[in-house]
Structure 1
Amino acid sequence: MATAFLTLACFAGIGHAQFSSNYSQYVNLFLGTTNGGNMFPGVCAAPHAMVKLGPDVESGNTDAYSGYLPSGQIWGFSMMHESGTGGAPKYGVVNQMPVKGNVSNPLIDLGQNRSTSDVAQVGYYKSSLSNGVDIEVSATEHAGLYQYTLPSGQNSIVVDVSHVLPSFRGLGWGQGYAGGSFQPQGNGSYQGHGIYNNGWNLSPDWTIYFCGHFDQAPTSQKTFTGNGTTLASYGNGSSTEGTYRQGGVFTFDKSKVTSRVGVSFISTTKACQNVQSEIPKGTTLQSLTSQAQTRWTNDVFAKVQTDETNTTVLTQLYSYLYGMNLLPSNRTGENPGWQSNEPYYDDFFTFWDLFRCSTSLWQVILPTAYEEIIRSLIDTWRHNSFMPDARSSNYNGRTQGGSNADNVLADAYVKGVRGKVNWQDGYAAMRTDAEVVPPNNHDPIAPDSSTKEGRGALPDWRSYGYITPNFTRAVSRAVEYSVNDFSLTQVARGLGYRGDYQKYIKRSQNWRNHWNPKQSSLNFTGFVVPKYGNGSFDYPYDPEQCSGCYWGDPYYEDLPWSYSFNAQHDMAHLISLAGGQEKFVERLEKFFEPGVYSGNAAYGNTVFNPGNEPAFNTPYLFNFVGRQDLSVKYSRHAALAYYNAGTGGIPGNSDAGAMQTWILWNMIGLYPMTGQTTFLIGSPFFRHLSIDLGGGKKLVITSRGGDRATAPYVQSLRVNGRRWDRSWITWDDVFKNGGRMDFVLGAEQTRWARGAPPPSPASSARNGHWGWW
């Protein structure tokens, strides 16, 4: 079948309808599953649930990053997946595949086309296969329920311990199966474990344990082992263990078969406890689906309420809220690495993607989980020596640029997160990133320094105050290391570490050492470019080019143009270097001008690439130069042109929800400056929006007089009843104790924000006066 997707929520082609508090009906599980979004449409029973149960699809040599592809054959339903990630697939383990009739060789490809479109809603997924089998699944946080409707006669279900999602990119990031065990327990029950390795984060062997039950007695059950597609043994149902492929085949003569499976990173005993406590025998799909929808409503959806009646917009709002909360995975109680009373989260993919928008929105919507994530990061440092920039299968890796967990901790600190966070340890973890060179893991794609964790290019950073081309991603790392060092100043200042504050505020200005005032592009001069150890800029580089924009290049995943706007803590100085306010406005507008850059056809040949995180902030930078109207113009254009309620509803890879949080902030009408208390003001989508901040506090945002598409420009604004003349607010203004923002919108591009520009804290650190000390 060419494509396969449906959702039980109606969303396409609908004009206006009465809003319902049944929020799950507005979630399109397939939003972001095409156009390179890589979203997972299967079952995630709660925000950040460990189990993500859904289909694994194969289609030629195409990587199925989340397991799902809209076309191709289903070759199993697995318990573990990522969502919205790139690089290479991860997980796709603890798998079942139904087969019509008896199975002669369980090691061969048993994939089946879909006979009709897949169906999904929050907490539920269904596939109908061309062999006449229907598969319906639901799940809890640590267990899953499969319900099979089978054709008449004998049918089989294959449990393949060696099943993993493969990668076809040829970069050495494919997952491996290193062995395991399969132990029948009689009467349709089984348990065992699988050992897997590699994937995008290059992790060594890790183990997942499973415990499964078929609630209908099989007519026969067999075990198998083999190498490749060649069977070594097949029959009698005895236990198997080793490095060969292995598993079990269960044959039934019934039309309805139910399977319950628990998983654990600790033991088979824990896996059995998980399935017994969360999905006892007799549990129905309907009850689990309802339970999942209630959990998502209480934890996420009901936190954001609006009087909007356009169901297309409602589908975007609640689908984005859902999509941003699939990762990371809450594995508290499932940490095999160390004993601790702290929360444990895994599957950060990655803070390079998430620190700009996602983490700040978690604090607003899920403050309890957010504090747990902060504590988990610090605890990972305690036991693994470094916080992760990325982490999965209980292993740090990969660091794409800076040590961006530093930015996440700083953002939490300046916005008042305290609770059970040990901030002395938190700052020590940040200081480790700033001072300790991580051991080189000799990554073949970037062998110069560690890609596992920390800041591999610290030797240059400390010696030169910049990063030479001896290190890969030199310029993008330098810009990010500057932001990371600024993040340390925020916590050092609060903890009273004056010497550290002065040291790191100076280092946070080091991005300036990469600024070449003679470098030109599109009639503008001055860009961040590679710099050699002798202090020269003699590097053959064009600001409109970044070679492959990948691991071995000076810039990672975006152009020099974008990175030249990324010193978000030092904006006043950046504006000065760029030629002053008027020239900065011109430069920004050139960035968004269609047709000026031939390498970006998908976005009208603009230099701006809305599908990559380094450009997230650029539409809002007009606020620093008195042109808030232009921030609205360009950010709203991006929101309406590149986001929608369909399967291609985000502009490229979700990056674990990063894209969703960018558009959500646009809908709210704000943009966070991570590591600072500042939020840049945009324009809200809604006439009325209420965000529950917890503890009886709310942020209420209203608008009148305009609309989101043709008249989105701010004419005036009141904050907490006071007339507002600044293009920014702080955390304390509207989030700390709740607040209210009342917009008047219209079609005219007014210059209403004539007050002081947003803060630029690193720019004020000059002439012996270091910032706010």
Structure 2
Amino acid sequence: MIVASLSPFVVLSLVYAMPAIAKSTNSQHVNVFMGTTGGGNRFPGVVAAPFAMVKLGPDVKNGNADAYSGYLEQGNVWGFSLMHESGTGGAPKYGVVSQMPVVGEVENPLADLSRPRSGADQGSTGYYMSQLVDGISVELAATPRAGLYHYSFPPNNSASIVVDVSHVLPSFRGLGWEQHYSGGNFSVYSDHYEGFGTYNNGWNLSPDWSIYFCGKFDTAPTSKKTFKGTRETLATYDESLNVSGSERLGGVFRFDASQVRSRVGISFLSAGKACQNLDTEIKADTTLQSLVDQAKEKWEEDIFSKVQVTGASDADRQLLYSSLHGMFLIPSNRTGENQDWDAIEPYYDDIFTLWDTHRCHTSLFQIVQPTAYEEFIRSLIGIWKHDGFMPDARSSNFNGRVQGGSNADNVLADAYVKGVRGAVDWEEGFLAMQTDAEKVPPNNNDPKAPDSSTKEGRGALPDWLNLGWITPFYTRAVSRAIEYSTNDFGLHQVAAGLGKSDEADLYLNRSRNWRNHWNPEASAHNHSGFAVPRLANGTFLKQDPTNCGGCYWGDAYYEDSPWVYSMNAIHDVYKLKELVGGDAKFVDRIDKMFELDLFHYGNEPAFTSAYLYNFVKGEQWRSVERSRQIGKQYHAGANGLPGNSDAGAMESNILWQMIGLWPMTGQTTFLILSPWFPELTLQLGNGKTLQITTSGGDKDTAFYVQSLTVNGKTWDKGWVSWGDVFANGGTMEFVLGSAPNKTWPAGELPPSPASGDANDGTL
């Protein structure tokens, strides 16, 4: 079965000329094209396993549109490459180790060889197909470190395949973030070709990095040539079959057969290791169908089987499993593929970005893939050990870019308080966090934010340490201050757990510094008190709370408004309630985010703000209404995401709505919303499960919580803790209805651990 991107709500099953899969799995509900249009930037190609290094798919160009994942719905295919990212922004990355099929002879391999497609691309978990207008069909399958191309050329024609080492995804935004090709090598031998390409830049502004490749054709070519050239001149063929240098270079292979199989392995270490990866993972007799089956089985075992539902509509089941698929495409597991790392030390790359994912992605990552998550935490600490700082984002073995705080601190804190131990060295983990909290990173002179580092760490630390707030000398001053506060709270959590009482007190106090940006005189729409820019002399600057200016790198607030950022100190909610004027004002302030169109469904800073109603007695039903309102922005079609996937952050958002809980990052607290399904079971590992059931309700019309039983006991709180339902498994039994029960919950409010005397929540 393959899935076509044909309708926003209906995923059609098409039959192609390959044997049916032996057993039906949840992969049949996955639309790999979900979120590929409308700014979702998701990668629809072949990813043979969660976090696979190889991501094999088409590269499409259409005018000056940036193809962040390589794919565009409209435009010409100009190559099929083995490396991509999913759901990223800023500028494209990768699109390397590419080949392009051509009918007939190739006079100039550096000419525009791109071709339109004859119809919509087709794909499913582990499989992809494009059909070009000149009669070429390209089917793709892969393993974690190698890819398989199956070409069908029109009969009675010679066929050529061009391998262009210089192929890389371009950017047309003019921000200076476009990728560059630096040079490489291409060598042809009797039974294979190999080489490497070196590239730089992209969204994380990385310096030169290299990828090695090794390719084999299962049909002997009738001729094989290497070439060199530039973009301005005709390529020249080289009879030596070995070319290298900074010019564009590659090879052209000609065949008289109409069916050609191409197998390619990659490695960050050497061409020999690329050949080893190829020979180990895709042997000459490996069929495309077997790789597709293998990929489906892997995704089912590792991801899809971990979340089981009953009573779901077809559309909701498609949304569930398509979102799970999109959530685990990146980061990339490159353990053993970094020359600076011990071969058995976990190493994950392509992290985009913890600013996006720390709010709700990483917490679900831990639940669905606890073993990989422990490795991921170890990898973050390992990057600090080798490179000096943990990343907020990372690609091609290079940290960058930091949009606000050092949010790896939040991720480590969240993992620590939820019991991630195993082989994690938490003493080293805390030292890595302290590096973020105490060491000013060198300025990488980013043209978009030249004041301080956007590569790693906290560039505005001098103000934070000396003043307790951040002045407008630094870009993104207010949003950074809010995030630095939550980062410091993360250090408090880990320090307290490790028995470091002095450090725990220090960072708890620093986590309250967001309050230093609070101007009680700033006002709008009958509300007073907002986090605003502040000068070194203590003077607050005038600020419209509904306007963030450009909301970008050079502004005081990054990608959201002062109204939203003023609601972002989620570790200190009761102090926030006090500052805004009490419960009624607090509720109205959340309401105003929606009424004033300040809540952006496709943007992460407001994610948690929508559910802070749970911190007011009798108002949990409003969080449920907002949850359902947000859920309506999603579907399983190509434009089914309300914004950029952001490496699965958007998909994890909708998955938490379905579960009916919301994680409070860096804490053990989960706010209770309302589940979508009559029954949902999460496999937690080691035989433990969390079973969530509903009765008396309907997802769309009767979704208000009337009562709840947790682990067989009546539950009167609008929150649960990690220990209640996740640490050892558990049950949650909801009774739902069509009208709010405003007397539930009447029990203890959620914790607000940085709020001191206000921690009881009564104002």
TM-score range, shorter chain: over 0.9
1:119 aligned to which of 109, 114, 122: 122
Query: Does structure 2 retain, via aligned residues, the 8 Å contact 1:48–1:329?
Result: yes
5 Å-filtered alignment, 1:373-452, equals 373-452=376-455
1:663 aligned to which of 633, 654, 667: 654
Which residue pairs with 1:480 in the alignment?
483
**Are 2:211 and 1:208 aligned?**
yes
Aligned partner of 1:175: which letter?
Q
Which residue pairs with 1:578 in the alignment?
580
Quote the Cα distance in structure 2 between the aligned partners of 1:496 and 1:460. 29
Which residue pairs with 2:183 in the alignment?
179
Aligned partner of 1:413: which letter?
Y
**Are 2:737 and 1:746 aligned?**
yes
Query: Does structure 1 retain, via aligned residues, the 8 Å contact 2:336–2:345?
Result: no
Which residue pairs with 2:751 in the alignment?
759
Which residue pairs with 1:603 in the alignment?
none
- Residue 232 of structure 1: how far off its partner (Å): 4.9
Which residue pairs with 1:228 in the alignment?
231
Which residue pairs with 1:649 in the alignment?
640
Which residue pairs with 1:677 in the alignment?
668
1:75-122 per-position Cα deviation (integer Å, ceiling 9, x unaligned): 000000000110100000000100111011010111100001111000
Which residue pairs with 1:154 in the alignment?
158
1:661-681 per-position Cα deviation (integer Å, ceiling 9, x unaligned): 011001000000010000000
Cα 1:10–1:59 change in 2 (3 A) is closer
Quote the Cα distance in structure 1 between the aligned partners of 2:240 and 2:106. 14
1:45-65 per-position Cα deviation (integer Å, ceiling 9, x unaligned): 000000000000000000000
Query: Does structure 2 retain, via aligned residues, the 8 Å contact 1:299–1:366?
Result: yes
Quote the Cα distance in structure 2 between the aligned partners of 1:628 and 1:543. 26
- Residue 608 of structure 1: how far off its partner (Å): 0.6
5 Å-filtered alignment, 1:28-43, equals 28-43=31-46
Query: Does structure 2 retain, via aligned residues, the 8 Å contact 1:262–1:275?
Result: yes
2:538 aligned to which of 490, 514, 535: 535
- Residue 538 of structure 1: how far off its partner (Å): 2.6
Which residue pairs with 2:680 in the alignment?
689
- Residue 5 of structure 1: how far off its partner (Å): 8.3
- Residue 236 of structure 1: how far off its partner (Å): 2.6
Quote the Cα distance in structure 2 between the aligned partners of 1:441 and 1:670. 40
Q: Which moved more, 1:45-54 or 1:229-238?
A: 229-238
- Residue 186 of structure 1: how far off its partner (Å): 2.2
Aligned partner of 1:244: which letter?
E
Quote the Cα distance in structure 1 between the aligned partners of 2:24 and 2:684. 19
Quote the Cα distance in structure 2 between the aligned partners of 1:128 and 1:307. 37
Structure 2 length as normaliser, TM-score?
Answer: 0.96
SS in 2 for 1:519: strand
1:17-60 per-position Cα deviation (integer Å, ceiling 9, x unaligned): xxx95111100000001110000000000000000000000000
Quote the Cα distance in structure 1 between the aligned partners of 2:474 and 2:53. 36
1:563-618 per-position Cα deviation (integer Å, ceiling 9, x unaligned): 0110000000001101100111111111112xx3xxxxxxxxx1111111001001
**Are 2:604 and 1:613 aligned?**
yes
1:700-725 per-position Cα deviation (integer Å, ceiling 9, x unaligned): 00001111111110000000011100
Which residue pairs with 1:601 in the alignment?
none
**Are 2:449 and 1:458 aligned?**
no
Query: Does structure 2 retain, via aligned residues, the 8 Å contact 1:224–1:231?
Result: no
- Residue 765 of structure 1: how far off its partner (Å): 6.8
SS in 1 for 2:655: helix
Between the two proteins, the alignment pairs up a number of residues equal to 747
1:513-550 per-position Cα deviation (integer Å, ceiling 9, x unaligned): 111111111221111110011101134x3111111111
Query: Does structure 2 retain, via aligned residues, the 8 Å contact 1:8–1:25?
Result: no
Query: Does structure 2 retain, via aligned residues, the 8 Å contact 1:43–1:52?
Result: yes
Cα 1:99–1:765 change in 2 (3 A) is farther
**Are 2:130 and 1:132 aligned?**
no
1:387-438 per-position Cα deviation (integer Å, ceiling 9, x unaligned): 0000000000001100000000000100111100000000000001000000
- Residue 233 of structure 1: how far off its partner (Å): 2.0
Query: Does structure 2 retain, via aligned residues, the 8 Å contact 1:439–1:450?
Result: yes
1:428-460 per-position Cα deviation (integer Å, ceiling 9, x unaligned): 000010000001111111000000000000000
SS in 2 for 1:136: strand
SS in 2 for 1:68: coil
**Are 2:638 and 1:634 aligned?**
no
2:265 aligned to which of 241, 255, 262: 262
**Are 2:288 and 1:290 aligned?**
no
2:568 aligned to which of 566, 569, 579: 566
Quote the Cα distance in structure 2 between the aligned partners of 1:740 and 1:155. 60
Aligned partner of 1:434: which letter?
A
Quote the Cα distance in structure 2 between the aligned partners of 1:146 and 1:456. 45
Q: Which moved more, 1:272-281 or 1:645-654?
A: 645-654
**Are 2:333 and 1:333 aligned?**
no
Cα 1:426–1:515 change in 2 (3 A) is same
- Residue 360 of structure 1: how far off its partner (Å): 0.3
1:199-233 per-position Cα deviation (integer Å, ceiling 9, x unaligned): 01000000000000011011111111001141352
SS in 2 for 1:186: coil
Which residue pairs with 2:15 in the alignment?
none
Quote the Cα distance in structure 2 between the aligned partners of 1:5 and 1:521. 49
SS in 1 for 2:84: coil
Cα 1:142–1:737 change in 2 (3 A) is same
Quote the Cα distance in structure 1 between the aligned partners of 2:703 and 2:177. 45
5+ unaligned residues in a row in structure 1: which ranges?
15-19, 597-605
**Are 2:44 and 1:23 aligned?**
no
SS in 2 for 1:231: coil
SS in 1 for 2:293: helix
Query: Does structure 1 retain, via aligned residues, the 8 Å contact 2:161–2:252?
Result: yes
Query: Does structure 2 retain, via aligned residues, the 8 Å contact 1:108–1:229?
Result: no
Quote the Cα distance in structure 1 between the aligned partners of 2:118 and 2:277. 34
Query: Does structure 2 retain, via aligned residues, the 8 Å contact 1:448–1:472?
Result: yes
SS in 2 for 1:742: strand
Quote the Cα distance in structure 2 between the aligned partners of 1:232 and 1:647. 39
5+ unaligned residues in a row in structure 2: which ranges?
13-22
- Residue 337 of structure 1: how far off its partner (Å): 2.9
Which residue pairs with 1:723 in the alignment?
714
Query: Does structure 1 retain, via aligned residues, the 8 Å contact 2:8–2:640?
Result: no
SS in 2 for 1:43: coil
- Residue 340 of structure 1: how far off its partner (Å): 5.4
Q: Which moved more, 1:334-343 or 1:48-57?
A: 334-343
Query: Does structure 2 retain, via aligned residues, the 8 Å contact 1:264–1:271?
Result: yes
Quote the Cα distance in structure 1 between the aligned partners of 2:641 and 2:82. 25
1:547-566 per-position Cα deviation (integer Å, ceiling 9, x unaligned): 11111110001111110110
Which residue pairs with 1:102 in the alignment?
105
Which residue pairs with 1:517 in the alignment?
520
Q: Sequence identity, in percent?
A: 62
SS in 2 for 1:156: strand
Quote the Cα distance in structure 1 between the aligned partners of 2:9 and 2:524. 44
5 Å-filtered alignment, 1:247-258, equals 247-258=250-261
Quote the Cα distance in structure 1 between the aligned partners of 2:636 and 2:264. 33
Quote the Cα distance in structure 1 between the aligned partners of 2:555 and 2:190. 56
Quote the Cα distance in structure 2 between the aligned partners of 1:211 and 1:397. 29
Aligned partner of 2:419: which letter?
G
- Residue 238 of structure 1: how far off its partner (Å): 1.7
1:128-164 per-position Cα deviation (integer Å, ceiling 9, x unaligned): 0011100000000000000000012111110000000
- Residue 341 of structure 1: how far off its partner (Å): 3.5
SS in 1 for 2:457: coil
Query: Does structure 2 retain, via aligned residues, the 8 Å contact 1:706–1:744?
Result: yes
**Are 2:190 and 1:199 aligned?**
no
Aligned partner of 1:168: which letter?
F
Quote the Cα distance in structure 2 between the aligned partners of 1:58 and 1:355. 32
Query: Does structure 2 retain, via aligned residues, the 8 Å contact 1:386–1:429?
Result: yes
Which residue pairs with 2:280 in the alignment?
277
SS in 1 for 2:585: helix
Cα 1:116–1:587 change in 2 (3 A) is same
Quote the Cα distance in structure 2 between the aligned partners of 1:556 and 1:515. 17
SS in 1 for 2:540: coil
